[in-house]
């Protein structure tokens, strides 16, 4: 995969306020807040064979909190192997973690048994508990999964659909001779088979690893995470676009900006089949031409959403 150098100073925390409409659901969780974790190069030191509690000290706490939720949901609940939950996309992705402020009693109140008068007040402490997470993976991506494919740790373990091609193209930075050549082949793109909503070439970003702790589900937490990630990408719609400066074309005096891949509002998810209705609430549509495949033994389908992009933004440099 192409490693594009990012100017991470352009990343900022984004904590939206959800509109309060109608009567809140009961029981409502403590007021949550969202933390943004920018792409982290030091995640290369993450040990996929250990839990979030046993990682090196240089792994950001926010990412360890994200993994604490993912381990609860995907590893403990759904049976995904621990070493397969962390993958090579984590270090280049944006992550969001939603927290709830939870009060824990240190010591209960003490009352006078004769009069009922308060002798010692209850002592408590407030803890920020990570309760949900989501990630956004920038382009480029591996080719779409094969219909009928069985994947373990991202590796196809069966033949799958023999008719559907799978790209074997190696993604690498665009070379000057490729721009100057007659074919103008842009290797920052993945050549893929066209689907219902994707032409096989347009850059897209991928949402995934959406997870909410069981006791906090059905309270709008997942929706808040999805809307936060989508809104952030709309506002920072050029942040993952490669620039001539990054690729060195400015030093060659070449104007190739019109030929470099640009994100134009397309989101993809590899949704668990049983979660399709959840993603449909946020506007995603099932892509019938992508078929169905299995990741870590769980049936998945492809879904897409196209949004309008905002003005401004921050370009990778």
- Report how far residue 310's alpha carbon sits from residue 233's, in angstroms, rounded to the nearest whole number: 9
Which tens digits make up the pLDDT trace of 26-60? 344 445 689 999 987 778 889 999 999 999 999 99
At residue 19, the pLDDT reads: 34
At residue 18, the pLDDT reads: 38
At residue 313, the pLDDT reads: 44
- pLDDT, greater one: 213 or 192: 213
Residue 179's H or E segment, with its range, is: helix 176-180
Residue 250 DSSP symbol:
T
Cα-Cα-Cα-Cα torsion 124, 60, 314, 285, nearest 10 degrees, comes to -80
Q: What pTM did the predictor assign?
A: 0.75
Query: Averaged over 143-157, what is the pLDDT?
Result: 91
Query: Averaged over 63-91, what is the pLDDT?
Result: 96
The percentage of the chain sitting over the pLDDT mark of 70, rounded to a whole number, equals 72
Predicted confidence band of residue 189 (pLDDT cuts 50, 70, 90)? low
What is the CB neighbour count within 10 angstroms for residue 233? 23
Task: Report residue 108 as tokens.
Answer: 């209960």
Task: Report residue 132 as tokens.
Answer: 């949900």
- pLDDT, greater one: 160 or 269: 269
Tell me the average pLDDT of the chain. 79
**Range of lowest pLDDT (196-205, 248-257, 307-316):** 248-257
Architecture of domain 8-306: 3-Layer(aba) Sandwich (3.40)
- For the chain, domain boundaries: 8-306
At residue 111, the pLDDT reads: 87
- pLDDT, greater one: 247 or 287: 287
Cα-Cα-Cα-Cα torsion 240, 191, 296, 40, nearest 10 degrees, comes to -20
């Amino acid at each position: 995969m192409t490693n594009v150098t990012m100017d991470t100073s352009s990343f900022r925390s984004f904590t939206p306020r959800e509109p309060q409409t109608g009567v809140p659901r009961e029981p409502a969780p403590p007021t949550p807040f969202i933390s943004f974790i920018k792409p982290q190069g030091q995640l290369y030191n993450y040990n996929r064979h250990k839990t979030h509690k046993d990682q090196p000290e240089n792994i950001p706490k926010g990412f360890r909190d994200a993994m604490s939720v993912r381990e609860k949901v995907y590893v403990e609940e759904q049976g995904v192997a621990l070493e397969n939950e962390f993958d090579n996309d984590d270090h280049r992705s944006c992550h969001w973690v939603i927290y709830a402020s939870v009060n824990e009693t240190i010591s209960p109140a003490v009352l006078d048994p004769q009069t009922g008068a308060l002798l010692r007040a209850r002592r408590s402490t407030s803890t920020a508990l990570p309760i949900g997470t989501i990630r956004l993976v920038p382009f480029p991506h591996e080719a779409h999964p094969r219909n009928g494919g069985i994947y373990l740790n991202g590796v196809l373990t069966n033949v799958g659909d023999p008719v559907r091609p799978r790209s074997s193209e190696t993604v690498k930075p665009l070379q000057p001779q490729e721009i100057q050549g007659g074919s103008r082949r842009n290797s920052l793109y993945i050549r893929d088979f066209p689907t219902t909503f994707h032409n096989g070439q347009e850059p897209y970003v991928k949402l995934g690893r959406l997870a909410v702790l069981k006791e906090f589900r059905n309270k709008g937490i997942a929706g808040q995470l999805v809307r936060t990630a989508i809104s952030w990408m709309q506002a920072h719609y050029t942040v993952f676009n490669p620039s001539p400066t990054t690729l060195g074309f400015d030093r060659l005096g070449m104007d190739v900006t019109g030929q470099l891949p640009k994100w134009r509002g397309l989101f993809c998810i590899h949704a668990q089949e049983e979660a399709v209705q959840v993603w449909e609430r946020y506007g995603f549509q099932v892509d019938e031409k992508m078929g169905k495949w299995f990741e870590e033994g769980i049936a998945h389908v492809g879904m897409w959403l196209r949004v309008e992009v905002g003005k401004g933004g921050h370009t990778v440099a």
